Chain A
Amino acid sequence: MQQGSFCYVAGTPVIEAQGLTKFYTLGKETVRALDRVDFTATQGDFAVINGPSGSGKTTLLNMFALIDRPSEGEVLFEEKPTSRLTEGELALLRREKIGLVFQTFNLIPVLSVAENVEYPLLLTKTPRAERRERVAARLDEVGLSGFERRRPDELSGGQRQRVAVARALVTEPRAVLADEPTANLDSGTGKQIMELLQGLNRDHCVTFLVVTHDPSVVGYAQRVLTIRDGRIQGEEKRGAPGPA
């Protein structure tokens, strides 16, 4: 695992959006969910995309997560365009290089905490011994050592989201994308999750992109982008991130 001190590739683009546009057609009406979005997230970035409900945050994040395709424009992952990639190639990028954290945690209910964290490693066919080691390390990092055998429904919301964070990081991805990770948590727990993400960002030199409409999350970011009606309205850079 790359440690903060070895974050020598900082500044290398990881995810880029070029003229990203997305239309949704509802009957005769066309909704423009994203309108020519340009954006670059570099190695080690901690960026928050902030905007009101319906502004296109989830739509944008889904493009970055390579689970949705733009109507126009291009998403580049590690400087390579993705629009021509097959579904299989996109899935490969997702499982090897992207970690996802969802608003509703999205753990697999029939799997234990450890098995949930292990799941992405099964997709990448990681050997058993290495899987164990990595799962233990990630669970330790999110403060859930000792909870390995619990089922998701035996955890609090905050604990579930920690499991989800451990799962997102277990494959050592280049980017972790989180859609409203604190929206289903109380403010105290949300704060803890954001602090966790911030610490992990420093330790792992992984790019974090967090989408939110929660102003309290904004304070953790180095970069804050505001989106409104599918357009990036502006960006604020912050030197020393910390809670608002």
Chain B
Amino acid sequence: MTIKIATRNVFRNTRRTLISLLVIGVGLTILSFVLGFVGEAILAAKRSLAMELGAFQIGDPRVLDGKASGLEGLIPPEIAERALALVRGLPGVAGATTQVRFAGLVGDERGSTLLLARGIVPEDCMTDYACMIVAGRGLGTTDAREIVLGERLGARLGVAPGDRVNVATGTVAGTLNAATVTVVGLIQYGEAQVEERLGLVPLGFAQRLLRTNGVERVLVWLDDLDRSSPYAAELNRAFSTERLPLAVRTWDELTPFFASLQTFWSAFSGFTTLAVFVLVFFSVLEVLTISFLERTREVGTVRALGASRGRVFAGFVTEGLVIGIVGGLAGAVAGAAVSLVFNSLGLTFVPPGGNMPQPIRVAVGASTLAIPFLVALGATVLSSLYPAGKNARLTVVEALRSV
């Protein structure tokens, strides 16, 4: 009966109730969208990073930890081969490749600028960045004298696919070396500062230029990113038993900023949750205060008939509960609908912290629905407490006298 009366009271003033429900609905739609987006953004950043870096990398520990330049800790080819063989034999390994990185100059007679080059194995998007090409094509064979430039670097040099540029660098032995290469493509890279200096060349060509046959690091991709750490531990053990001078670093060890990125996103979600809670609390408080005070005389009537203060209080709080449940459900459904429509647009973006473009999706799941629902419920029930208490505290005579 309490629920029946409360429900009917809630829908007594339809316009006012609709305003409450609208505020709750809009708040929850925003909240569930933000929660769903943030959850996906973290995942997308993780996927993007793991796509570029691999689930883990193998190399000289000093190089992997950034304490030495790549050329100081090159892996001899036979050791690199053994590491690759070891890794490729593991279950759940999606792919593996080798890279070497070096710094140099790139340009033509009009001028040169700093180049941060990566010697890569053209194979598939994971290893050769082909999916980030915005003009021209990706690299051909592993020996070709070709280069793919960051789009900004290309613009700075004033070159386009088909043009030739000179690349100069120091060899492993410390002498200078240079070559003329053809620009075959331009890529877009998430970080602008990197894109201004980035060049991709085939690994074989890079090795000739550097006069080495070693590689700097082995990148390994897994089917299941979450298994990076156990694999890394296992490989580290294998390397020490085989006395290989190698270490393994997982993708998140290689990107210490990812943890702070995650903290930032969580704080953002938390802040949005709080903001929506406060929004719902105050708007429902206002509506309920007016609505409850209008019914003070009814309170007087039922108290005169013998209803307790507790019953009156519970009745009003039940109204808050009903609004919370209805608004919470409506908001969760609206939030899910908006998210699904958004997902159906199939947009892509480079997630913050990542460089590889990812589909933008908004997660729709238990937490993006349940948290907004609980926020609505909590905020409306909380906002009903004060006006409910105010009405329940009145004496019967006071309540009956009010008009």
Contacts and interface: CB of A to CB of B under 8 A. Distances in A.
A67 interface: yes
A94 B12 contact: no
Interface stretch (B1-9, B38-46, B124-132, B325-333): B1-9
A88 interface: yes
A110 interface: yes
B306 A92 contact: yes
A108 B5 CA distance: 9
B307 interface: yes
B17 to A, nearest CB: 13
Q: Count chain B CB atoms within 10 A of each CB in A68, A88, A110, A119 and give the residue with the most.
A: A110
B305 A110 contact: no
B305 A68 contact: no
Nearest to A110: B8
B258 to A, nearest CB: 56
A120 B1 CA distance: 12
B297 interface: yes
Interface string A86-119: 0110011111101010100010111100000001
A88 B308 contact: yes
B315 to A, nearest CB: 11
Interface residues of A, number: 26
A106 B12 contact: no
A122 B1 contact: yes
Contacts of A120: 305-306
B396 A108 contact: no
A67 B304 contact: yes
A189 interface: no
Contact of A110 (B12, B300, B306, B400): B12
A234 B397 CA distance: 27
Given A67-B396, A67-B397, A122-B1, A108 B306 contact: no
Q: Is the interface of B mostly helix, strand, loop or mixed?
A: helix
Nearest to B2: A122
Nearest to B399: A67
B303 A91 contact: yes
Contacts of A94: 304-306
A120 B308 CA distance: 12
A222 interface: no
Given A91-B308, A94-B304, A106 B396 contact: no
A82 interface: no
B306 to A, nearest CB: 2
Interface residues of B, number: 22
A91 B302 contact: no
A67 B400 contact: yes
A62 interface: yes
B116 to A, nearest CB: 73
Interface string B297-323: 110111111111101000000000000
B9 A110 contact: yes
Contact of A108 (B302, B304, B308, B397): B302
A91 B297 CA distance: 17
B388 to A, nearest CB: 17
Interface in A67-90: 67-68, 87-88
A155 interface: no
A91 B307 contact: yes
A87 B309 CA distance: 9
A108 B301 contact: yes
A103 to B, nearest CB: 10
B308 A102 contact: no
B302 A119 contact: yes
Nearest to B301: A106
Contact of A68 (B302, B311, B396): B396
A83 to B, nearest CB: 16
A165 interface: no
A129 B400 CA distance: 32
A15 interface: no
A198 to B, nearest CB: 23
Interface string A142-167: 00000000000000000000000001
Contacts of B396: 67-68
Interface in B388-402: 395-397, 400
A31 interface: no
A244 B252 CA distance: 97
Given A68-B397, A123-B307, A102 B5 contact: no
A48 interface: no
Contacts of B307: 91, 95, 123
A130 to B, nearest CB: 15
Given A67-B397, A67-B400, A109 B12 contact: yes
Given A108-B5, A110-B12, A122-B1, A102 B306 contact: no
Contacts of A88: 308
Given A67-B303, A96-B306, A98-B306, 12 more contacts: A62-B397, A65-B304, A67-B395, A68-B395, A68-B397, A91-B307, A91-B308, A94-B306, A102-B400, A110-B9, A123-B306, A124-B306
30 contacts: A65-B304, A67-B303, A67-B304, A67-B395, A67-B396, A68-B395, A87-B309, A91-B307, A91-B308, A92-B306, A93-B306, A94-B304, A94-B305, A94-B306, A95-B306, A95-B307, A98-B306, A100-B304, A102-B301, A106-B297, A106-B298, A108-B5, A108-B298, A108-B301, A109-B12, A110-B9, A122-B1, A123-B305, A124-B306, A167-B305
A-B CB proximity, top 3 nearest: A95-B306, A110-B8, A67-B396
